[in-house]
Amino acid sequence: MRKLVIAAAFALPMFGGAAMAQETVKIGYIDPLSGGGASVGEVGLKTFQFLADELNAKGGIQGKKVEIVPFDNKTNPQESLIQAQKAIDSGVRFLTQGNGSSVAGALSDFVTKYNERNPGKEVLYFNYAAVDPVLTNAKCSFWHFRWDANSDIKMEALTNYMKTVPSIKNVYLINQDYSFGESVRSSAKAMLAAKRPDIKIVGDELHPLLKITDFAPYIAKIKASGADTVVTGNWGQDFALLLKAAADAGLKVNWYTYYAGGTGGPTAVKQANLNHQVFQVGEGIPNLDHPSSQEFEKAIRAKYDFSLFYPRAVNEMRMLAAAADKAKSIDPIKVALALEGMEVEVFDGGKGNMRKDDHQFFQPIYISSLGDRTEKEPFDEEKTGWGWKLVAKIDTPATVLPTTCKMERPN
Amino acid sequence: MLELIVISTLNGVLFGMLLFLMASGLTVIFSMLGVLNFAHASFYMLGAFFGFQVSRWFGFWPALLIAPLLAGALGAGVERFGLRRVHRNGHVAELLFTFGLAFVIEELVQIIWGKSPVDFRIPALLDFPAFTIFSTNYPAYKMFMLLVSIAIFVGLLLVLKKTRIGLIVQAALTHPHMVGHLGHNVGRIFMLVFGVGTALAAVAGVIAGPALVTQSNMAGLLGPILFVVVVVGGLGSLPGAFVASLLIGLVQTFAVSMNGSLSGAFGPLSPAYASSWLADIWGVTIAQVAPIVPYVLLVLILIFRPMGLLGTRDT
């Protein structure tokens, strides 16, 4: 009898959980919440929770409450698959992840195989930040959707701007040693050679991902190379610590980056006193002359202590809701089909569309620099007093690159 | 070129001295107690977090004193109430005990301070460039780290070689029973040594915390390389640990600054192999493999000179 009671005590809440699951749309957030990637992972988690609250305030998705369920993957592909399985077992049908293309590749693969083996229980994978081009080219999957511009799109935009800056002569490339860093360096080399053959690549470095605590030796090398410009795809602590070491050594060059705005980045830029010498390419900045996104920015800053670093996450969550409305269902296959080719007004203004051929989202791209603000830039970053200033805008049609994706669709 | 060599040497020596601060405690503990303390790097981490917390309340300088004392007291407690009991069950039990302890400490740190980096700042007093060499600034704080490390090395050597306590410690290393018969409390000496060893690691933590990153994974990042230092230097040899620390610091820093690869040395690979696995190995630079160079050294030392550079007995 006693055993039965104990068994029931354990089992009943589980049944309760299963019943609850149908009332909510669970989104499994798989990203680093410990280790070197934790600082960015936590900001991402809070951003998604903020977005879930926003949707819930409007009645949720198809009348169901949205819940973000965090899973810590330690930026490790192997660990991510374990966490993904755990998420699926707990009733999650939508996964989202962003940090690390190595992780994204593994997850995309995992989800594709899982869906083949478990018809009727499909899972979708929403990628909000892993930008290795291969994910929407050679290794594309029907179950994977990417809201961030891929690395090639970003580099195309960045080099289009760089070619108009005559003072750039010697460029140093420093990137993280994995698929994403590899793709940044190779596209940077190829595009710079095509657009500005006079630019010399004076250094080409790959360093271990999220393991370096002191970049002083790398900074010494950059300094010795005589570079006037550094191009880097580094994110998280790999960017903040790189700039911190540059500040310590007094290295004065221009930085062209993907993720200077990430946690700790602006603080390090201010410490290094690089006023409007650090550029970032991305899908939006707080200081755009666009009222609705500025309202959102004020709201997220009032609630948390950070600025919105992921406008793409906003697009992702709002489009998920829109796709569910269009399909009148939260069934992953129907949502996926509704997302294909969907055209929307993006968070920072302008048209965006989810290309059906490869599930890559296209949107306006902005290049901005961090430094002193004028009255046109109301927001600063990390209480440094410095904020992002718009340098160049690339409209959606100009960002479209061809894809080699041959997508296999479910029957 | 000269510029790169000078700066790399400075950076390498600095990193080496930091390693030594930690390895010194580890190697003394090993030579006395015969315990390879897997949790040693965890005390380094504890030092950094205690330092962060205390500096919040009282400022950096009191933290530099209080944090190592706290960590040392904790270390002494671990020896007195943990290791000494486990000791009866042999070396494997001790090893497993410290191994488990490392995980416990990491989890505790995560529970108390969270998983993301804490904002541990360099004291304002030392936040300026000490000197400029080849137009590169050298931060005063790094100079300070270097001086503290050297001071502790000299102090430790003097205590071990010139004082009564040092003599007893050295005697207890080789002849614990004899020392006990002479009326010294060997148990207390062991506890003291364990406490001092972990306090040294904590000193390293307090001074490295602001310069590097104070985060719950910092023990995991530096732990493995400590064992390289101790094995390469010779288990239980203090001068060996010193030499090995500097060697590894310099090797790693210089490896980062080198661009050489097989393709640089022997010319590009013939196009026939361009897409094979060989191409990856051919194109990889020394800078890229820098992080594993110390471990290559570890393997080579274990094969060709198992007692280490300055060690006297086999591992």
Greater confidence (A97 vs B18) lies with A97
Answer yes or no: are the C-beta atoms of A44 and A60 closer than 8 Å: no
Q: Are B39 and B101 in contact (CB under 8 A)?
A: yes
> At residue B242, does pLDDT exceed 50?
yes
Distance CA A152, CA A154 (A): 5
- Count of the separate structural domains present in chain A: 2
> Where residue B117 falls among pLDDT bands split at 50, 70, 90?
confident
Q: Which of B8, B110, B211 sits opposite A220 (nearest CB)?
A: B8
pLDDT of A385: 93
Is the domain of A261 the same as that of A380?
yes
The complex's ipTM works out to 0.84
CB spacing of A220 vs B7 below 8 angstroms: yes
Q: What are phi and psi for residue A264, nearest 5 degrees?
A: 85, -20
Rounded to an integer, what distance in angstroms lies between the CA atom of residue A302 and that of residue A300?
5
Mean pLDDT of B187-196: 90
Q: Is A94 a member of any domain?
A: yes
pLDDT confidence of residue A129 = 94
pLDDT the model gives residue A116: 94
- Show residues of chain A in contact with B253, CB under 8 Å: 217
Task: Please count the helices (runs of H) and the strands (runs of E) in chain A.
Answer: 13, 15
Same domain, A169 and A234: yes
Instruction: Among B132, B138, B257, select the one facing A217 at the smallest CB separation.
Output: B257
For residue B153, pLDDT beyond 50: yes
Q: Which of B8, B45, B115, B134 to mutate to test the interface with A (most CBs of A within 10 A)?
A: B115
pLDDT in tens, B247-306: 999 998 999 888 877 777 777 767 666 666 777 777 788 888 888 889 999 999 999 988
Mutation for A interface: B256, B292, B293, most A CBs within 10 A: B256
Give the domain extent around A157: 152-282+366-399
pLDDT for A332 equals 95
Tell me what the pLDDT averaged over chain B comes to: 87
pLDDT at A239: 93
pLDDT at B167: 87
Task: Indicate yes or no: CB of B116 within 8 angstroms of CB of A221.
Answer: no
Beta strands in chain B (DSSP E): 129-133, 136-139
Ordered by start, the domain boundaries in chain B are 2-221
Task: Say if CB B294 and CB B16 are below 8 A apart.
Answer: no
Residue A313 domain-assigned?
Answer: yes
| Among candidates B12, B117, B287 on the partner chain, residue whose Cβ is nearest the Cβ of A39 | B117
Query: How does pLDDT run across A258-276, given as a tens digit for each residue?
Result: 999 988 899 889 988 899 9
What's at A24, amino acid-wise?
T
Asked whether residue A182 falls in the same domain as residue A86, the answer is no
Q: What pLDDT, on a 0 to 100 scale, did the predictor assign at position A4?
A: 54
Query: Looking at the structure, do residues A342 and A228 belong to the same domain, yes or no?
Result: no
Residues in A closer than 8 angstroms to B140, CB to CB, are: none
Using 70 as the pLDDT threshold, list the residues of chain A that sit under it: 1-22
Residue A410 lies in a domain: no
Residue A407 lies in a domain: no
The residue of chain A nearest to residue B15, with distances taken between CA atoms, is: A214
Is residue A158 in some structural domain?
yes
Q: How far apart are CA A235 and CA A203, in angstroms?
A: 19
Probe site for chain B from A176, A214, A218 (most B CB atoms < 10 A): A214
The pLDDT of residue B62 = 95
- Which residues of chain B does A177 touch, with a Cβ-Cβ cutoff of 8 Å? 288
Over range B113-134, report the average pLDDT: 84
Tell me the chain B residues in contact with residue A218 when contact means C-beta distances shorter than 8 Å. Answer: 256
Same domain for A269 and A162: yes
Mean pLDDT of B117-121: 83
Q: Least CB-CB distance to B115: which of A34, A208, A251?
A: A34
Clarify whether residues A159 and A241 are in a common domain: yes
Q: What is the pLDDT of residue A15?
A: 47
Q: Do A38 and B215 touch (CB under 8 A)?
A: yes
pTM: 0.86
A200 CB-contact burial (10 Å; exposed 0-12 / middle 13-18 / buried 19+) = middle
Looking at the structure, tell me whether residues A128 and A246 fall in a common domain.
Answer: no
- Same domain for A70 and A136? yes
* Burial class (CB within 10 angstroms; exposed 0-12, middle 13-18, buried 19+) of B176: middle
- Chain B positions in Cβ-Cβ contact with residue A208 (cut-off 8 Å): 291
A205 with A278, same domain?
yes
Span B80-87, mean pLDDT? 91
What's A384's domain CATH number? Answer: 3.40.50.2300
